[in-house]
Structure 1
Amino acid sequence: MSTATLRETPAASTVTTVPRGLVRTVLRLHRGALWIWLAFVAGTTGFLLWLLGPGADTAQRALETYGYSGLIMATGSADEYSDQFYNADTLLTVASFAIALFAGGPLIARELESGTAQLAWTQSVSPARWLAVKLAVPAAFIVVGTGLLALLYHQVWSAHSNLLIAGIEPRALYFSLGPATVAAPLLGLALGTLIGLAVRRTLPALAFSGFAYFLVYAFRGNHWPFQGRYQQPELYSRSRAFTSAGAEIRDPGCYDDKACLAKHDVVRFTREYLPSSDYWPRQLLETGVLLALTAVAVALAFALLRRRAAAG
């Protein structure tokens, strides 16, 4: 019994330490990308906290001083706050593209092209385990980082949507206010990985990964029946206009047109942005579709890797 125990101990030790070694290797090889991601999350978090606090306070004081119609034509007030608010949405979109590029190029294709991956496979690391860790490590950072940013962004929206200027842009924020914000970059990671395995050359993998995610983003924005950036219902606003005499009138829709404002004697607006009644069903459905596509891409990646490994 003592002999059996001695024989089993090294094997058990090997099984438990190999994954940890793989995780350390992935973190070491891609520490530059990791620091860039952490800096992005920290910087965007600080920006959202500024929108939630000091930025909103400044815009609110200007709103109380000038009224909504005056704010639109004032410099450095709500107009600027509205622009800054949408910049956070742009940052999240760019991050998803960057993740797809990273997965296709440095994470997968570069290691296949340089032979680093093949070397790892000869050192007691199976191709399947190598790929699993390659996906799991960045996925963990993506989920934590984007989850934090989506929660903060939704908090800013809930607290200060009254400071945003009406138009098509509020509906575009559908992309960044729910769980689909976390699922979208995971799909970028899976697509980039699949393309990196298929192409196995860094520069072509970068190009194809970026193009593939661009197609997904464009299709997601304009054609999915439960999405559609310019389709109703999504996020809409409840708006009221007031004249110089204090009378409430129907919103004429001339938010930055001085002649129109003068014609209707509009001096201020009140505006509340609201999610449509099916906002969360759409969000959850889209999240499910994104995760399903991610699972398909991951399954195809493992199948392709097994075929390549079997072929030698």
Structure 2
Amino acid sequence: MSTLTVKGTVKGLPWTVLRLHRTALIAWGAGVLAAAAALVWMYAIGDDARFGVGGCSMPPEAGLPSCDEVHAQTTDDIYRSGIGLVTTAVTYLMFPVAAWAGGALIGRELENGTARLAWTQSVTPVRWLAAKLAVPAALLTTGTTVAVLLNVWARQDDNPNLVGDWYDADVFISTGPAAVAYVLAALALGALAGLVTRKALPAAGVAFAATLVLYIVLTQYRPSLWPADTVTGPTALNLPRDVAALEHGAVTTTGERIGNNFACVGSDSAVDVRDCMERSGLTDFWATYHPRSHFWPLHLVETGIVLALAALATATAFWLLRRRTA
């Protein structure tokens, strides 16, 4: 280990980081290549997959294929499964990154004394931590960005029957910059956990738990990160498929909005609806929702929050390291 450290002082800390963690680097590269290959394949079979979920008739009619031909198609299932697998992998990448950063990147080297050995060979603690974070941050940013761009490309027209709705948690994160932000936050939280615990296994557990809390909290409050739209009237009962419905209800004669009020919704006709509303003291229906156009505002706000937390965790890690090595 000391020989490796000496080489690092000659060739540079980035090279040392790559050598020490070459197994993780190989696994990361293989994962990115596998995801890229899968998404290229999904793009190639996308047209056949959309054909498989389209309308059909028996016997065939103009513009509609034979139902027997459609039912014989299995490409849509392959496409749906492939896109779903990559989407899940990109979304939850933050968790193994956090555990690795806490346990292997920082915690293990503090626990076995490798870090202090490096500090005695013309490498300051601050420079050591900077290299430890900069190298994986660059690789994680590049790889995750490639995976996100390929994921968006492979989804083509974003048919929700094949790739899920844009507001689904996995889909939302894996199709925008928030995926990169979460990975960087996981790296920073892992480094901070490693410096706090100074032991590999506890650091991995703490980093994983901290990242999980971050993910759960922001997923819970995501709809509140941008003002939602409100609609009243019959449209509130028949929102488009591509909107994220948040809340709906009825308006009373006093103007009060009652959430989740389904009175009169099951009436058979417009006349029945009006009669029911008069008997129930209701004047209208309302709903709040996020249209598809809110994807980028929501994404950018969440990305900003996560990056701010990543910067805070990084700054805290450097502060803690300076305090302990002063």
- TM-score by length of structure 2 reads 0.70
Equivalence for 1:171: 168
1:104-152: CA deviation from partner (whole Å, max 9, x where unpaired): 0000000000000000000010000000000000000011101111111
Q: Give CA-to-partner distance per residue, 1:156-215, whole Å, 9 cap, x none.
A: 23x142373486675331111111111110000000000000001111111111111111
Question: Residue 59 of structure 1: which of 49, 74, 87 is its match?
Answer: 49
Q: Which residue of 2 aligns with 1:149?
A: 147
Instruction: State how 1:178-217 maps to structure 2 within 5 Å.
Output: 178-217=176-215
The 8 Å contact of residues 48 and 153 in structure 1, kept in 2 or not, is answered as yes
Give SS of 1:125's match: coil
Structure 1 portions without partners, runs of 5+: 1-16, 240-273
Match of 1:31 among 15, 22, 29: 22
Q: Is the 8 A contact 1:184 1:290 kept in 2?
A: yes
Residue from 301, 308, 311 that aligns with 1:285: 301
Residue number in structure 2 paired with 1:237: 241
Distance 1:83 1:114, change over 3 A: same
Counterparts of 1:184 and 1:294 in 2: how far apart (Å)?
8
- Show the counterpart of 1:301: 317
Q: 1:106 aligned to 104, 109, 113, which one?
A: 104
1:287 partner amino acid = T
How far, CA to CA, are the matches of 1:143 and 1:283 in structure 2?
17
- Give the letter for the 2:131 counterpart: V
Question: Which of the numbers 158, 161, 170 marks the counterpart of 1:161?
Answer: 158
Partner letter of residue 41 of structure 2?
Answer: W
Q: Which has the higher contact order (CA 8 A, sep 6+)?
A: 1
**Helix, strand or coil: the match of 2:74?**
coil
- Contact preservation (8 Å) 1:112, 1:118: yes
CA RMSD of aligned residues (A): 3.1
Percentage identity across paired residues of the two chains: 42
**Shift, 1:154, TM fit:** 1.3
Counterpart-to-counterpart distance in 1, 2:10 and 2:210 = 31
Q: How far does the alpha carbon of each residue in 1:229-269 deviate from its partner, in whole angstroms, 9 at most, with x for none?
A: xx977xx7359xxxxxxxxxxxxxxxxxxxxxxxxxxxxxx
Instruction: Kindly provide the amino acid, as one letter, of the partner of residue 237 in structure 1.
Output: R
Query: CA separation in 1, counterparts of 2:70 and 2:99?
Result: 38
Distance 1:29 1:210 in 2: 22
Distance 1:200 1:79, change over 3 A: same
2:88 maps to 90
Normalised TM-score (structure 1): 0.73
| C-alpha deviation, 1:62, in angstroms | 2.9
Does structure 1 retain, via aligned residues, the 8 Å contact 2:46–2:154? no
Higher helix share: 1
- Residues 41, 301 of structure 1: CA spacing in aligned structure 2 closer, same or farther, 3 A cutoff? same
**2:13 aligned to which of 18, 22, 37:** 22
Between the aligned partners of 1:153 and 1:212, the Cα distance in structure 2 is 27
Aligned AA for 1:62?
G
Uncovered stretches (5+) of structure 2, i.e. residues with no partner = 1-7, 57-63, 230-239, 244-289
